[in-house]
Structure formats: structure tokens, C-alpha cells
């Protein structure tokens, strides 16, 4: 604990919502290789905006959430944020989060070693079976072929 932690506290320290948890997992996927391209950020926003989970969300609310998550990743690291998000994410969204994370990783046609490691961690942390994970990845490869 730092000298000033008791006075200032941890900025933004509050429980994650299920929407933040889902978005945090996807943001971790695009940040896992050390940088987020504008194309990856656009892909993330496109996926989230299509989901019922984010119905009636304003652009400002999206931006605030994404800025908070990015700050968490910068301060705590991708793996720490992944673990925090996985604890909050409802189990019914585990496969959905994994599929969308795979989609984002595969979208540019190049899968970096760090991205593979992230997907392996994500699969384990979310408790997705190896067979199911392989099926999801195969479908996402087909989806992103063209």
C-alpha cells in the first residue's frame, strides 16, 4: 500500500458491471499484443453496439466505460483485468465473450503469440471446454476468411 492510498483511494475503484466485464474481456483481446489499432477499436465498438446487453447506451456512456477499462488495463495489466471481468461476467455469456474475443483476434488475419496466450487464458478462466473452444475458433476462422 502506498503512502497516499488511504487518502486518495484507488481511482475508479468500484464493482464492474456485466456490461463492463464483457467489454473488458474483448478489450483485453485487442490489447493483448501490446497495442490497440483503430481498426481493432472500431471492431470492438461494432460488436458491442450490436448486442442487446448495451441497448439504450449513449455514445458518452460507451466512451466512459471504454476509457475506464483502458485505464484499468494500463494500471493493472491485461491478465488482472481479465480475471476481474471473468468473476463478474454471468456464466451464460462466457461462450459469447470467448467467441467475440476470437473474432476480434482473428479479424486482421494475423494471430500474434500474445493473442494466442490470451485466448488460452480466457478459455481456461471462463471454463470453456477444449472441444467447445476449438469449435468456436474454427467457426471464427471461417467467418474471417473473406
Has residue 4 been placed in a domain? no
More confident residue, 14 or 116: 116
The H or E element spanning position 75 is helix 59-76
Has residue 56 been placed in a domain? yes
- Determine the Cα–Cα distance for residues 18 and 21; give it in Å rounded to an integer: 5
Has residue 110 been placed in a domain? yes
Look up the pTM and report it. Answer: 0.89
Has residue 10 been placed in a domain? no
What is the DSSP secondary structure assignment for residue 34, as one 8-state letter?
S
**Quick one: pLDDT band at residue 6, thresholds 50, 70, 90?**
low
CATH classification at residue 28: 1.10.3680.10
pLDDT in tens, 85-138: 999 999 999 999 999 999 999 988 889 999 999 999 999 999 999 999 999 999
Has residue 120 been placed in a domain? yes
The whole domain housing 25 covers 16-143
| pLDDT at site 25 | 98
Has residue 113 been placed in a domain? yes
Residues 140 and 103: beta-carbon distance below 8 Å: yes
Amino acid at each position: 500500500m502506498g503512502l497516499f492510498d488511504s487518502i486518495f483511494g484507488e481511482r475508479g475503484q468500484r464493482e464492474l458491471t456485466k456490461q463492463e466485464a464483457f467489454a473488458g474481456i474483448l478489450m483485453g483481446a485487442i490489447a493483448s499484443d501490446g497495442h490497440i489499432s483503430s481498426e481493432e477499436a472500431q471492431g470492438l465498438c461494432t460488436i458491442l453496439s450490436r448486442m442487446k446487453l448495451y441497448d439504450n447506451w449513449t455514445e458518452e456512456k460507451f466512451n466512459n466505460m471504454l476509457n475506464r477499462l483502458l485505464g484499468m488495463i494500463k494500471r493493472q495489466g491485461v491478465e488482472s483485468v481479465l480475471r476481474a471481468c471473468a468473476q463478474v461476467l454471468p456464466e451464460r455469456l462466457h461462450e459469447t465473450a470467448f467467441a467475440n474475443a476470437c473474432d476480434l483476434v482473428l479479424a486482421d488475419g494475423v494471430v500474434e503469440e500474445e493473442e494466442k496466450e490470451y485466448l488460452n487464458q480466457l478459455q481456461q478462466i471462463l471454463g470453456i471446454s477444449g472441444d467447445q473452444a476449438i469449435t468456436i475458433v474454427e467457426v471464427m476462422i471461417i467467418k474471417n476468411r473473406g
